[in-house]
Amino acid sequence: MSKHLVCLSFDFDAMSGMVARGLKTPTPVSRGEFGAVAVDRILRTLAAADVPSSWFVPGTVIKTYPDHCRRVFEAGHEIGNHGWTHVPPANLSPEKEEEGLVRTNEAIAEITGAPAAGYRSPSWDLSPVTVDLLLRQGFLYDSSMMGHDCQPYFARRGDVVSDEEPIEFGETTGLVELPVSWSVDDFPHFEYLRMPTSLAPGLANYRLVLENFLADYDYMARTEEWGALIYTFHPFVVGRGHRMMLLEGLIAGLKERGAGFIRMDELARAFAAGELPPTP
């Protein structure tokens, strides 16, 4: 069994990411709506390759597309908590943030029979109290931070960060952190997004992105005794044409390299129990 693992994760945001940016007119809503079209394409690809995955879904999207989320779960994939809306928790009050965690877990339990084991924050921007809230709500893991590229670790709380003084690191908790990176996320590579004060150009050549994605695995396999690399996709991004060929090529390339595929909840449980390397 491979000591070098990968997690395929999908943030099923649909139109929630557009709405959170104030883009509520018909065209941006339809752009997010394409994510629902892509869900079944992705599920067929995963089934054909016989690989597991983890999906993070905002509560509003679960309520908008319950049948799609049910198909994800019934296909054997994990459903994680992605907040109630796609507003980053750093922009919410602690009360509103916790309310979103609770409401979304209730929606997930209606689909799966249990609350989510894991959380991923919208836009990967935690608030100062997110770790405390996740622990209070009984989450096993978070996947929003970037302190490593392929090694899980335990999240801290209570860091003191000042403008001119050295950082004072806080307490290490029992919350497992499964780290992520924009470099192995489809959105910044592919999505063209024009805002009043910013432009995300996107529209990269999928073959070049595929080279980068596989090279990150190659580096992990060459330099780490064991590791777990987490790739992040969005159905409304990766589900279009040539980008599906990226996903297909990534899975095939990773299999050729002997990678093991594992759900993120299974990875987190094994890491928390000290069972290293985890066995897919």
pLDDT tens string, the chain, 280 residues long: the values are 579 999 999 999 999 999 999 999 999 999 999 999 999 999 999 999 999 999 999 999 999 999 999 999 999 999 999 999 999 999 999 999 999 999 999 999 999 999 999 999 999 999 999 999 999 999 999 999 999 999 999 999 999 999 999 999 999 999 999 999 999 999 999 998 887 777 788 899 999 999 999 999 999 999 999 999 999 999 999 999 999 999 999 999 999 999 999 999 999 999 999 998 887 8
Distance of CA 94 to the CA centre of its chain: 22
Q: Residue 85: is it exposed, middle or buried by C-beta count within 10 angstroms (0-12/13-18/19+)?
A: buried
CA torsion 147→83→57→201, rounded to 10°?
-60
pTM for this predicted structure: 0.96
CA distance 146 to 232: 13
Based on its alpha-carbon atoms, the radius of gyration of the chain, rounded to whole angstroms, reads 18
CA distance 142 to 180: 10
The torsion angles phi and psi of 44, rounded to 5 degrees, stand at -65, -40
CA distance 233 to 247: 9
> Which residue in 143, 153, 206, 121 sits closest to 9, CA to CA?
143
Question: pLDDT at position 1, please?
Answer: 57
Q: Domain locations in the chain?
A: 4-272
Question: pLDDT at position 55, please?
Answer: 98
Residue 199 DSSP class? E
Write out the CATH class of domain 4-272. Answer: alpha beta
Q: Where are the beta strands (DSSP E) in the chain?
A: 4-11, 54-57, 78-81, 118-119, 141-142, 153-157, 171-177, 193-195, 198-200, 227-233, 260-261
CA distance 82 to 56: 5
